[in-house]
Structure 1
Amino acid sequence: MSQYKFETLQLHVGQESPDPATDARAVPIYQTTSYVFRNSDHAQARFGLADAGNIYGRLTNSTQGVFEDRIAALEGGSAGLAVASGAAALSYTFQALAQAGDHIVAAKTIYGGTYNYLEHTFPQHGVTTTFVDPDDPQN
């Protein structure tokens, strides 16, 4: 869909054809946390990631998938990830980029929740942080 303009991408990425269950043009909003499996083998395949599909609302959701695809397309990215809170976004980001033994330098004026995460939670995983004055060019 990259040949389309920004406005078209806003409306159609992630749902290039109508919803197969309802023929709705707009993406349905699925308000569910759980999904039905045909049997225990089907559930095992889904949770084992051998079979693609929804398994649990916190992990996958059709509405969220369309949102992620649209944001990625609008930003020129190859994929997107949406999470339920800023704290979840911070956790995903820091855990993906830092590992035990790493050191982070952060502004001491960052959001309080982020400060507390770096000051109190991340050291439990072996990552340390130095907080600096962001207005001081020496930092």
Structure 2
Amino acid sequence: MQSKGFETTFSPRFSETDGMGHIGNTVFPVWFEAARDPIFEIFNPSLKLKEWNLILAGFNVSFDAPTYYGKPVTIITTVSRIGGSSFDVHQRCIQEGVQTATCTTTMVYFDYKTAKSLSISDEIKHRIMARCFVERTN
């Protein structure tokens, strides 16, 4: 059985290493954002900025273990909550089988012309449910 969610693999760069020899804490939000591209495509298949329809309402990153240079990391991206106009993206950073960081991001489906949130359509909800919805138990 194939698991739900999207996997994105990064090779940590030397420049992302901090003075303690770990990947710096400010790197993770950048990795997590890049790994959200498949979610962005569900809402905006062309990824054209003139048609952009999502805003970031907030995010929380937690660090579980050090992440190191020279070893690939995989970000596993799922959606853990779908509301009327917002949803939560849950992401896990894994290196050599160890979860090193997690992130929960709240995104809002948004119309920039009217500066108002939009209702997430049943079609989009169905695509999320089919491809990447995993309800969190904690």
TM-score, normalised by the number of residues in structure 1: 0.23
Question: Looking at both structures, which has the greater relative contact order when contacts are Cα pairs under 8 Å and sequence separation is at least 6?
Answer: 2
Structure with the higher fraction of residues in strand conformation: 2
TM-score between both structures, scaled by the size of structure 2: 0.23
Larger Rg: 1
